[in-house]
Chains A and B, each alone.
Chain A
Amino acid sequence: MTGKRRSQWIAGLFVLAVLTYLYAPIIVIVLFSFTTSPRLSMPIEGLTFDWYRSALDNPLILSALTNSLVLALISAVAAGIMGAAFSFGLMRLKRPHVREALIGASLLPAIVPLLVIGISLAVFFRVLGMPQGLINTAIGHLIVCLPFVVLTMNARLETFDFSMLEAARDLGATPVRTFLDITFPLIRPSVVGAALLAAALSLDEFVITWFNIGNQQSVPVLVWGMMRRGVDPSINAIATLLLTLLVGLVICSNLLGRKKRS
C-alpha cells in the first residue's frame, strides 16, 4: 500500500507541475486584468475594475465578443457532431487502406497554412456570390476544427471494443438505443473534449476569420488590429470574462451530469 501511496504522490506532484505550467500565463492574465499597473509587468500597484469598464464600454469589443461566442458555439456543436459521425463512419469501413487514406485526407486542413485556407475560401465564396460575414466564417472555422475532432475521436475509436455493441444488438436493442445507452456514455468524455477543443480553436482563429468575416469583428481579429496602437489590459479583461464564462459552463454541465447519474 505504501508503494501505491508514493506513486500517487509523485503523480500528484507531476500533475500539479504541468497544471502550473499551463496556468501560469492565465494567472498572469487574470491578475493583470484587475491591477492598476498598465504595463503588464511587476510590481503590482493597486486593484481596479477600470479595464473591465473600458472593455465593456467599447461597442467594438462587445460585438466582437458576441460574434466570437456565436462562432465558438457553432464550431463546438457542428464540429462535434460531424466529426464524431465521420469517425464512426470511418470505423465501419472494412478496408483499412481506404480508412487510413481518409484519415490522412482529413488531416490536410490542419497542415495547410491557415492563410492559404483563408484566402482560398474567401475567393471561393466570392465565386459562389456569398457575401462575407459570419456564415462564411463559421464554415471556415468548421474546416479548421474538424480534423482535430476527427483525429481525437479516431484515437478513441480505433482501439474501441465494438463487440460490445454487437452484443447489445444481439440482445435486441435498436441501433438508436444502443447508441444512446452504451456507445455515447462510453465516448462522452472524448466527444465533449473534442467539442471543447473545437470551441477553443474557433475562439483563437483569426487568419481565416479576417478574410471571411467582412465588416464584422471577432475578438482575435480585433486584438490583432489593435496591436498597431498597443495592447492594454482591457484585453486581459476580455480574456478573463471569456474564461469565467466557460468555466461556469463546464461546472454547470458537470453538476447536471452528476444529477442525471444519481
Chain B
Amino acid sequence: MNEMVRGFLDARLNADVSRRRFIQGAAGLASLSVLGAATGASAAETPKLGGQLNFLGWDGEHGGNVAKPFLEKNGIQLQASFQSAADEALTRFNTGGRGAMDLLTPNKDFQRAILASNVELFQPLDLARIPTAEGLFPAFKGAPWLVRDGKTYGIPIIWGDEPCVFNPTKWDKMPARYTDFADPKYKGQLVLLDDPFGNIWLYAVSLGMKEPSRLTAAELEQVIEAMLKMKPNVVTIGASHGDMADVLIRGDASIGIGGWAYQTLIAKEKGVKLVVGSPEVDGTFFWSDAYAIAADAPNLDNAYAFIDFMTSAQSNAALAKELGSGCTVEAAYDLLDPGLRDLYPYDNVRKPGGGILGTQIVVPPQEADGDVVGAPAWVEAWQTFKAS
C-alpha cells in the first residue's frame, strides 16, 4: 500500500525541489528510492546510430515522410506515439515511461511551465551535437521558454498562431473583437477548441485586460461572463484541431475560433475552401513546438542525430509545408512556397529573444500568486463555461 502511495507521490513529485519539500513535510515516507539518479549524457566520441528511437509528441512532428530517408539510411526504427494534450509526456514519464522515452515535442507554454517549476522531464541539450541549430531564426536561438540557467532544453520545429478559420462563402471577414461573436447573427456558426487557456486568454485581451495571463478572480469571472454571451452561438467544442476542422469541413459550423492554418490545408485536400483571419483589433496568440530529449533517454545518439537532421533547412521547410506551419530555420524560409510564407508574420522571429513569442505568455501561473489566480482556477472556469 505504502509503495503505491509512494509511486503516486513520485508521479507528481519528481522535481528535486518538491521532493525535498515533501520529505520535510512527511517524515514517515522519507525514503523515495524509486527514482534513479539522473545519468548525465555520456557523449560518445563517435556516435553509433541505429536501433530504436522513441517519440512521444504531436502527430506529424515525428516527420513521417520527411525523416524516412534518414531513418532508413541509419537503420533507426522510429517508434512514434502521439499525444492529445501537452502534458501527456509528463504523465507518461512519471507513470513508468522514464528511461524508455527519447524524443518529445513540447509546446512553448508547456515547456516554459515545466522549466519554471523545476519539474524533471527534459535534459539539457548539447548544442555541439546539433550543428544545424545554428541556422535557426534569431528569435529561436536561446529563446526564453527554452532556456534555464544558461542551458538550452529545446530546438524549435515549427511555429504559428491560432487565428479564426472560417468559410469564405459565408463570411467576408471576422469582426473586430472576440466579444463581437456574441452577436446573434453568429448563431449555429461557431466551433471552439477545447483549450481553457487559449480561449480565456483571447477574451481577456478582448476585454482590454492588461496582463491577460495574470487574472484576478474577479477578472476571470468577467471573462467567463463575456464568453457565456457568445455561447448560444456555439455549435460544439472540438476535441482537437483536427476534430474542429472536421466540423468546419462538414459544414456543421462556419467559423472556428482559436484555429490552425493547417486546417485550411486539410479542407483544401477535401475540396472545401476555408481561410484564416483574426479579429482585427484583438489579434491572436502565437505558439511554437520544439524537439526536446527526455531525461534518462536510452537512445541519445539517435535522438541527437534525428534532431540535427530535422533542423536542416530542407527538412524544416518540408515539415513546415506538411503541417501548414511556420518554419524555424532561416534558410528554410527561402525554400517555402510564397503562399506559405505569407501565412505568418516572419518579422517577429527575426528579432532576437523570441519576438512576440517570447513576450507573449498565454498560460497562467501554476499556482495562485497573490491576487492572481493559478491554472486550476482557469480550468475550473473553463469547465463552468463548457457545462453551462
A residues within 8 Å of B by Cβ? 37-41, 58, 60, 119, 122-127, 130-132, 210-217, 221-222, 224-231
Contact = CB atoms under 8 A, between A and B. Distances in A.
A102 B251 CA distance: 51
10 contacts: A41-B250, A130-B96, A132-B92, A211-B92, A213-B81, A215-B54, A222-B81, A225-B83, A228-B242, A230-B243
B215 interface: no
A229 B95 contact: no
Given A37-B271, A215-B55, A227-B84, 18 more contacts: A39-B250, A122-B96, A123-B7, A124-B4, A126-B34, A126-B96, A127-B6, A127-B7, A127-B34, A130-B96, A132-B96, A215-B52, A215-B79, A216-B79, A226-B59, A228-B242, A229-B241, A230-B241
Nearest to A125: B96
Interface residues of B, number: 47
Given A127-B3, A225-B82, A229-B242, A39 B272 contact: yes
Q: Is the interface of A mostly helix, strand, loop or mixed?
A: helix
Nearest to A126: B96
B122 interface: no
A225 B81 contact: yes
Contacts of B54: 215
A134 B349 CA distance: 43
Interface string B353-371: 0000000000000000000
Contacts of B82: 222, 224-226, 228
Contact of A60 (B52, B80, B97): B80
B110 interface: no
Interface of B: 3-4, 6-8, 11, 34, 52, 54-56, 58-60, 64, 79-84, 88, 91-92, 95-97, 100-101, 239-243, 245-246, 249-251, 262-263, 266, 269-272, 323
A262 B46 CA distance: 70
A68 B3 CA distance: 31
Nearest to A221: B81
B59 A229 contact: yes
A123 B8 contact: yes
Contacts of B60: 228-229
A41 B267 CA distance: 13
A234 B263 CA distance: 18
Contacts of A127: 3-4, 6-7, 34
Contacts of B249: 39
Contacts of A231: 242, 246
A126 B240 contact: no
Contacts of A217: 80-81
A126 B6 CA distance: 11
A122 B95 contact: yes
Contact of B270 (A38, A126, A221, A222): A38
A29 B271 CA distance: 20
B95 A228 contact: no
A230 B84 contact: no
